[in-house]
Amino acid sequence: MGHSVETVQQEVEQTATMPVLTPYKMGKFNLSYRMVMPPMTRQRSWNNIPQPHAAIYYSHRAANGGLIISEATVISEAGRGYKDTPGIWSKEQVEAWKPIVDAVHAKGGIFFCQIWHVGRASTYEYQPNGQPPISSTSNVLKPQVQANSEEPAKFSPPRRLATEEIPQVVNEYRLAARNAMEAGKFLSPFNNFYARIHGAHGYLLDQFMKDHINDRTDQYGGSLENRCRFALEVVEAVANEIRADRVGLRLSPYATYLDSGDSDPTALGVYMAESLNKYDILYCHMVEPRMKLSEESFETTESLLPMRKAFKGTFIVAGGYDKEDGNKAVAENRTDLVSFGRLFLSNPDLPKRFELNAPLTKHNRSTYCEPDPVVGYTDYPFLENTA
């Protein structure tokens, strides 16, 4: 049987398409390409309430069949650690999210809400009644320089969460996931705002998983299984609440951000990847070992391949990817999807620019967390406006 002209043409077109621009089926979602807009904290949700300008920002970057994960969104008043980050614990916040989610859905985008608790990365001023922040430990986090300032941020001494209090915090994650789904039911009952759990970068769940922080002696401390127990209880609760095929988890086993190092990050990553299979969640989003800190990339021989092989769902990589190494990661089957943070931030039409091999706008780091509703937020140009 010879190939018809049409099939030859299709084959030529397929080989010409760059790997990150090929379609992908993620559970019930048909993604048009393998590029993900990952969560990026922008600190423009005044008083923890998402604002109308967020609808413009996200819809600029939304496309039919494109996956967007929202900025980290706080699950409770005690989960806060930064100024003007959005929350999803109150009715008012849920209502404020609705038009934002709808703006993404109007473009055919698939939207996940990253639900977040900072744990000890907080201060008394962010806590209800000025109480200590909670953590796996009572050891204070040493001052850290953060993305939006020159001066190191100082943190208040945390309170070690009592064993019997943990189910209450698990429940806060569950309610946040339920609220996210509620926020997605504005005009389209099919398209929801799904839940992506933040288990990375030295925040609460990571404070339990990493042995450089967790110094507990109860069933949530000591062995690897015990340290991962809290995170897996959160995964289970959220999956039971909104269905496992609507749940993702972000992990950064190798990162040392916010003093979150671990003595055996590979074992931690593999254990979590294997454990997630029994909950059948949709995807696992892991941060590359080269991104040990938030901004700089390091040369390393470590790799996410063992986790990629261990996890049965969709695997997403993050961490300093550009067009060339993102395509290479997909071509070599090291991942299903690639997230491009800074590039999506400064190029709202990033997939189109990749496709046309168009020049990319450089991001301006100094405006990442400016409170301005436009500058460094909704003013990055589209291709047609740069000609």
Q: Answer yes or no: 173 catalytic.
A: no
Contacts (Cβ under 8 Å, ≥6 apart) of 232 = 272, 275, 276, 279
φ and ψ at residue 284, rounded to 5 degrees = -125, 130
The CA distance from 89 to 178, in Å, is 10
- The letter for the amino acid at 292 is K
CA–CA separation, 308 and 316 (whole Å)? 9
* DSSP state letter for 3: P
CA distances from 189 to 89, 114, 182, 193, 381 (A): 21, 20, 10, 10, 32
Q: How far apart are CA 49 and CA 36, in angstroms?
A: 25
- Residues 265, 288 contacting (CB under 8 angstroms): no
* Helical packing angle, 91-106 and 166-183, nearest 10°: 50
Retrieve residue 282's tokens. Answer: 């949709």
- Of the candidates 24, 203, 257, 377, the residue annotated as catalytic is 203
Mapped onto helix, strand or coil, the DSSP state of residue 160 is: strand
**Which residues are known catalytic residues?**
203
